[in-house]
A = this chain, B = another copy of it.
């Protein structure tokens, strides 16, 4: 990457309301609206049939405590308030696309409870308002006050954007004022144990132009790691703990050194990518090239050495964290859904710094594989952990595999991933489209209608990711810029049926267009085998099957024994008949391979006898929807 490529704020994102989805994206947005948002509302209200969460009751009790009324105890995890933020954010995005009076009323009611739980000085966190007020801001390492504030700030921005209502925005501006006084005016040392508020403050700054937001975001980003021993000193000064986190594990919360000097993605993966997102956001907003370079190094560390083929990150259960380079085991993968979501955030913010196809490629990789794998087809079960291999009897059972469940559990009372997925999916338009003057960027192939702030309009039609023709009708646009994914070996462009050869730069095609033009993009989505670097020792000599952005997997539901089978990468890949248990339009792939005969002895001198067989693969994101069985992404090769 050359210096010249660094451009301050390459493009402007669109508001969520600008994109009306249909097709593949539309069906997932519908699932969020129909199943996930109502379900989480019931969970947060502790309704019958759900696991107790205490989210609503915490806000109610905090309000009572502030008014001096009798009240109940705080319930749940120290970061329980953040669930309210994530739900409100998903609701806001959903309302932006599809107005819904009942839902808006439910959101307004929650916002009233939140407002009533805010202290006179602007402080807002139910855990330390209901009781333990003396513990406010004493344990930044563990107490998640800044993290919860961040999620509520994001919710406030989203709700204001969607409904024009300022109530939550004003509440959170007062909260920001409180934090600003503490950390800037009063000079309280420290930075968030769990980054999140940085990116939230950047969102709020863009909406409100309140300079305190920018200043605070910059402060938290720049002070991080300046004093690596900060948490040790903090711990020495207080005498309470949430989980007994190790204050000297600098890597866990990315505080071993100032962020501008960091070169390797380490520690808790969600914390890491939330931090990097805030950094990239600040870099594009302020033109801070040094900070962008740090982001770029951390990006390279992830995508070149620590990224699963499924777009998952954070390979180890120990600390839900990044491991060392090339340690990407398939069967013990952690690969948290939230971490893949955070990687999408980071990728998108990088794109705002630099127009390069790799960012969109990674957004797709994470979205179509790990993020969607997190959600059961009926919207009622969720994977937090996304292994690339499941073995009945071992996955979820062996001590090293307890975290790799073979079936999606329901929504937990303490849930990070499901509401995170809900807000991501319902705001996907923001990641798909952007504008810069009279140029419109299409980062993702998202079927639907888009109305830009400039008045330009675009109508995208596609059955992507199962079909690779994408057509656009445009008006008010001079240049249509389309990302060309790295896997498309031969890409064709047509304007009103006539082939054209646009300029392609850094993975984007720039196509001059006129009103009412029909632009057709034909990607090469031929199914392909993918081979891992030999440095990933755990999958040496294996192969994965992919089609377009989709990673495929081989599951017991379609095959007699995937662990005993190997694929012939030289034979033809064809489409198999659809499975009625999977949604309409899902393409199953068929490949040739061999299956070995059962060997009774643990170890035998006889080479296993192999028989020809047909093997069938489905998209990785859909595994585990047809009963509990074995699943493998990385297959042995014949």
Residue in B closest to A400 when the chains form the complex, CB atoms = B316
Q: Is A537 a contact of B389 with CB atoms below 8 Å?
A: yes
| CB<8 Å pairs between A and B, sample of 22 | A304-B602, A309-B602, A309-B603, A316-B399, A316-B400, A318-B399, A319-B399, A323-B394, A324-B398, A326-B394, A327-B398, A327-B401, A332-B400, A529-B605, A531-B603, A531-B604, A531-B606, A531-B608, A533-B599, A534-B608, A540-B563, A540-B564
Per-position binary interface string of chain A over residues 533-550, scored 1 when its CB falls under 8 Å from any chain B CB and 0 otherwise = 111111011001000000
Interface of A is mostly: loop
Contact across chains for A331 and B533 when beta carbons are under 8 A apart: no
A177 on the B face (CB < 8 A): no
Q: Is A532 an interface residue (CB 8 A)?
A: yes
Q: Is the CB of B602 within 8 A of A303?
A: yes
CA distance in complex: A563, B537 (Å): 6
Query: Please, which residues of chain B bring their CB within 8 A of the CB of A537?
Result: 331, 389, 391, 394, 563
A421 proximal to B (CB < 8 A): no
16 more CB-based (< 8 A) A-B contacts, given A316-B400, A318-B399, A531-B605? A303-B602, A323-B400, A394-B537, A529-B605, A533-B603, A534-B561, A534-B563, A534-B596, A534-B608, A536-B602, A540-B563, A540-B636, A541-B541, A541-B566, A541-B637, A544-B603
Are A398 and B316 in contact, with the CB atoms below 8 A?
yes
Docked complex Cα distance between A601 and B530 (Å):
11
Say yes or no: is A412 at the interface (Cβ < 8 Å to chain B): no
By the criterion CB–CB under 8 Å, are B329 and A530 in contact? no
Q: How many copies of this chain sit in the oligomeric assembly?
A: 2
Does A607 count as interface, using CB distance less than 8 angstroms? yes
Do A534 and B564 have beta carbons less than 8 Å apart? yes
Q: Min CB distance, A537 to chain B, in Å?
A: 5
Cross-interface CB contact of A394 among B327, B397, B566, cutoff 8 Å? B327
- Check: A598 CB closer than 8 A to any chain B CB: yes
List the 3 shortest-distance A-B pairs measured between CB atoms, nearest first.
A318-B399, A541-B636, A534-B564
On chain B, the residues within 8 Å of A603 by CB distance are 309, 530-533, 544
The smallest C-beta distance from A286 to any residue of chain B, in angstroms, reads 32
| Complex: chain B residue closest to A632, CB-CB | B537
Mask of A600-635 contacts with B, CB within 8 angstroms, 1/0: 111111111000000000000000000000000000
**Contact present for B599 and A534 (CB under 8 Å):** yes
Q: A561-B534, A598-B534, A602-B304 are in contact. Are A397 and B528 (CB under 8 A)?
A: no
Neighbouring B residues of A541 by C-beta, 8 Å: 541, 566, 636-637
Q: Are B325 and A393 in contact (CB under 8 A)?
A: yes
Q: How far is the CB of A381 from chain B (nearest CB, A)?
A: 24
Which residues of chain A in 368-426 are interfacial with respect to chain B, using CB atoms and an 8 Å cutoff? 389, 391, 393-394, 397-401
